[in-house]
Amino acid sequence: MASSSTSVVVSNKEKENKNTKKVTLKSSDGESFEVDESVAMESQTIKHIIEDGCANNEIPLPNVTSGILSRVIEYCKKHKEAAGESEPSVTSYTSNSTTNPLTEWDTEFVKVDQNTLFDLILAANYLDIKGLLDLTCKTVADMMKGKTPQEIRETFHIKNDYTPEEEAEVRKENQWAFE
């Protein structure tokens, strides 16, 4: 007589609690990064993908290289830790606060070459990470402080596309600012 046995397989997913749930992000150059879902959801873009049920196993990020993605993940991890175990929500804006302990960390974080800074801005915008966008934009604004238009062009390798007449017109409009 055959006896039957029943085995119960409990899915790992059912056992996992939300805080340790992972998600895999794939960079434009094919590298995969496994991160806590709560960290990944510092990005509003990723948050919407997950919530819309489109995540599957991997989330491709064709606009972000592995080098930049690893930095972005580092930022999100650090800021998620600082925010504690609270529900993933809009990233707290920390870069300007002098009383926030993350200010120093943020300052070091953006001490990068110009190309990296540029890519971080684009990534922050694409991934919709408010704190990172604010931090990187403030860094750019600080780089422009007190400079003349020509000095800014040189700093950022921007070509002067004004004709001499147009440039004279621009200067005339706010003469005092150019002195």
Q: Return the residues of window 80-139 that contact another protein according to CB under 8 A.
A: 118, 121-122, 125, 133-134, 137-138
- List 15, 161, 164, 165, residue binding another protein (CB under 8 A): 161
With CB under 8 A, what is the number of residues at the site for another protein? 33
When the beta carbons of 15 and 159 are compared against another protein, the nearer one is 159
Q: Smallest distance from the beta carbon of 28 to another protein, in angstroms?
A: 16
Query: Which of 29-33's residues contact partners 24+ apart within 8 Å by CB, and which partners?
Result: 29/65, 29/66, 30/66, 31/66, 31/69, 32/58, 33/66, 33/69, 33/70, 33/73
Whole-angstrom distance, CA of residue 64 vs CA of residue 79: 20
Tell me how far apart the alpha carbons of residues 146 and 143 are, in angstroms, rounded to a whole number.
9
Pick the binder of another protein from 5, 157, 164, 165 (CB under 8 A). Answer: 157
Q: Which of 26-61 are b and which e, b meaning 16 or more Cβ less than 10 Å from the residue's Cβ?
A: bbeeeeebebbbbbbbbbbbbbebbeeeebeeebeb
Name the residue nearer to another protein (CB basis): 111 or 157. 157
67 is a contact residue toward another protein (CB under 8 A): no
Return residues touching another protein (CB under 8 A).
118, 121-122, 125, 133-134, 137-138, 140-142, 144-149, 152-153, 156-162, 167, 170-171, 174, 176-178
